[in-house]
Amino acid sequence: MLKEVNSEEFKELAGKGLVLADFFSTTCGPCKMLAFVLKDVEKEFGDDLTILKVDFDQNKELTAEYGVSGYPTLILLKDGTEMKRLQGLQQKPVIVNMVKKHI
């Protein structure tokens, strides 16, 4: 599943299974590119991975709670616990390898 969420939805979904949080901004070129990459990543994992997109500028409290200072930032959560964090635009194999290690 790939879904853009607000803070409430994020908190509801982040603690369930393997979640990849994408903190993005609509004013960021690499974030736009990462959106295409994440669509490919979604196809790779299907229901095994939930991808939650969080608008950095619209969810300040959430970004502060997760210590996100820039975008794009990817945080991989397993049952709500942070497993790995990647900053900046990433290629699909990097993200896929990261997820596979924790699946």
Footprint on this chain of another protein (rule: CB under 8 A): 25-30, 32-33, 36-37, 40, 70, 87, 89, 91-94
- 62 flagged as catalytic: no
**CA pair distance 57, 3, nearest whole angstrom:** 17
Give the nearer residue to another protein in terms of CB position, either 13 or 76.
76
> Considering the complex, what minimum distance in angstroms separates the CB of residue 69 from another protein?
10
Give the nearer residue to another protein in terms of CB position, either 17 or 30.
30
**CA pair distance 23, 75, nearest whole angstrom:** 8
- 28 flagged as catalytic: yes
Measured in degrees and rounded to the nearest 5, phi and psi for residue 28 equal -125, 120
Give the nearer residue to another protein in terms of CB position, either 50 or 90.
90
> Considering the complex, what minimum distance in angstroms separates the CB of residue 8 from another protein?
27
For residue 38, the cross-strand partners are: none
DSSP 65: H
**CA pair distance 25, 14, nearest whole angstrom:** 19
Q: Is there a contact between 2 and 38 (Cβ–Cβ < 8 Å)?
A: yes
> Considering the complex, what minimum distance in angstroms separates the CB of residue 9 from another protein?
25
Annotated catalytic residues are 28, 31
